[in-house]
Amino acid sequence: MLDRLPFLIGLRYVRAKRRNHFISFISLTSMLGLMLGVAVLILVLSVMNGFDHELRTRILGMVPHTKIEAQGGMTDWKTLAERLEKRDHVIGAAPYVQQQGMFSSEGRTQGAMVNGIKPSYESKVSIIDEHMTQGSLDDLAPGEWHVVLGDLLARNLGVGVGDRVTLLVPEASITPGGVFPRLKRFTVSGIFKIGADLDANLAYANIEDMQKLGRLGDSVGGLRLELDDLFQAGPVTNAIVDDLGSGYRGIDWTYTHGNLFQAIQMEKRMIGLLLMVIVAVAAFNIVSTLVMVVTDKHADIAILRTIGAKPGTIMRIFMVQGMAIGTIGTVVGVALGVVLALSVSDLIAWFEALTGIQFLDPNVYFISYLPSQLQWGDVGIIAGSAFVLTFLSTLYPAWRAARIQPAEVLRYE
């Protein structure tokens, strides 16, 4: 019976209606603060995980994991592609010709990067096939001068499938009439949408057409490689360049988008740390709650001591009460946070549709919607940290309760 006494009395103190309503209010505030802190921390970390996931899948699915280039162009690229695909971590290779230019249509202009590709190879290194909203990459037949535009790029130009656009490249052509920029008319054969800023500044054309436009002959700009592990891009690229010898260079995704990825990781850590402080403040509010309860229950503690309760028993009573408050707040906060993390994308999309306000402008941000990815490991760490902070917050008030001397209290009763 004495072993059950701390749990019976501690839980009774949680359920009982106290005469001091202020103590009840502080106890409820501590519970709500812990609940909201845990829920918000789970929600925010899930959103940060969503951004991280979108960076890896969507943006890095379109951007090459690594590129291998040769001085003066690469002619025997087929042999090299077959050779590289046999290396560890390399799961695909595709040739490319890249050209920066400006599209124009009926007075509208928009700069873009045009990738010359072989449609049959592109699926090995890119996810663009999964995000074609109109047309197909197979329409990029050599000699047809077709182009596939990003959704935002097409909208900025006011064109659709079947319309004609003019590509101006920053290279001069010398003619009897003088020096003129190089121009070429393309027909829009497809539109893709990945929900990132690449929709506004990326286009695809057939590699043979881009070779003719750039007067490259049979050479290509290089090979794009797809890896099975993004974080092996640096070592794999360095090993390939070392094996190929002089005249080759490698550029992996960390040079082009590494800063963004590192920024997201840093923001996730810092935001998690700051929000954990909120959880800590809510947990340590339990200290003030228990201190006031101990003061209010001096007589009860003294009576328990006189009938044989040991200081350790008194200490456990108030630890049980504090842990009950913290457990309720943490469990409800975890449930609320999980529900919000799983539904926040749909809620924000509904709110944007209702109000017409777009929170993430794709012209500014890499993606146009709020992603969320719940990771149960994060939930476990957050819940465990809340329990630990709650336990620590109960130690001092419980220790003070255990030190109360019954003779000093009952003298004035």
Q: CB within 8 A of 340, min separation 6: which ones?
A: 39, 42, 43
Rounded distance between C-alpha atoms, residue 62 and residue 366, angstroms:
12
**Closest among 183, 4, 213, 224 to 96, alpha carbons compared:** 224
Q: What angle do CA 55, 61, 66 make, to 5 degrees?
A: 100
Is the distance from CB of 191 to CB of 150 less than 8 angstroms? yes
- Max Cα–Cα distance, the chain, nearest Å: 115
Structure tokens at 362: 């794709």
Q: What is the 3-state secondary structure (H, E, C) of 144-193?
A: CCEEEEEHHHHHHHCCCCCCEEEEEEEEEEEECCEEEEEEEEEEEEEEEC
| DSSP secondary structure string for all residues of 361-398 | -TTTSSBSS------HHHHHHHHHHHHHHHHHHHHHHH
* pLDDT score of 409: 64
Q: What are the pLDDT tens digits along the chain (413 aa)? A: 446 767 677 667 666 555 556 566 777 878 888 898 899 889 988 888 888 787 777 777 778 888 998 887 888 888 888 899 888 889 889 999 988 889 998 888 998 999 999 998 888 888 888 888 998 888 898 889 999 999 989 999 999 999 999 998 877 555 554 455 678 899 999 999 887 778 888 999 999 999 888 888 888 888 999 988 878 888 899 899 888 888 888 888 888 777 777 777 787 788 878 878 878 887 778 888 788 777 777 777 787 777 777 888 888 888 888 888 888 889 999 999 999 999 988 888 888 888 877 777 665 666 677 888 898 888 998 899 888 888 888 888 888 888 877 766 666 55
Written in H, E and C, the secondary structure of 22-76 is HHHHHHHHHHHHHHHHHHHHHHHHHHHHHHHHHHHHHHHHHCCCEEEEEEEEECC
Res 1: pLDDT: 41
Q: How much is the pTM?
A: 0.69
